[in-house]
A = this chain, B = another copy of it.
Amino acid sequence: MPFHFFTSFARLPLVFRVLIISVSLIFAFGSIVHLLEPEQFTTVFEGVWWAVVTAATVGYGDFAPKTVLGRLSGIALIMVGAGFLASYFVTLATIAVTKQNDFLEGRI
């Protein structure tokens, strides 16, 4: 069953796989930081907002972890999540450009 799940996952187009992994990381780290620093991240949505802003390397600074554990999970999110979001950005833009060219050359 988990094997079938993974095989189905791996057969999805690249952009969906990268997006699913990115969204999962965002929700996981958004929940973790809400548990670790509940005074600052009062809701899971505030944690998710911080995780999106961090993994996309925007980093407004309206939310930033202040405890050692919170900062260690922030470092983990940066080291794992930023790569997936960067891949997602590049894949999405490549698809948009390729589809336009396919259309122009009569393939769609």
How many residues in A have their beta carbons less than 8 Å from beta carbons of B? Answer: 47
- Is A1 an interface position by the 8 A CB rule? no
A101 at the interface (CB under 8 A from B): yes
- Dominant secondary structure of chain A at its interface with chain B: helix
Q: Which chain B positions have C-beta within 8 A of A82? A: 56, 58, 89
Q: Which B residues touch A18, using CB under 8 A? A: 93, 97
Report the Cα distance A82→B61, complex, angstroms: 18
Interface residues of chain A, those whose CB is within 8 Å of chain B, are 6-7, 9-11, 14, 17-18, 21, 45, 49, 52-54, 56-62, 64, 66, 68, 71, 74-75, 78-80, 82-84, 86-90, 92-94, 96-97, 100-101, 103-104
List 5 interface pairs A-B (beta carbons < 8 Å), by A numbering.
A56-B78, A58-B58, A59-B60, A83-B89, A86-B90
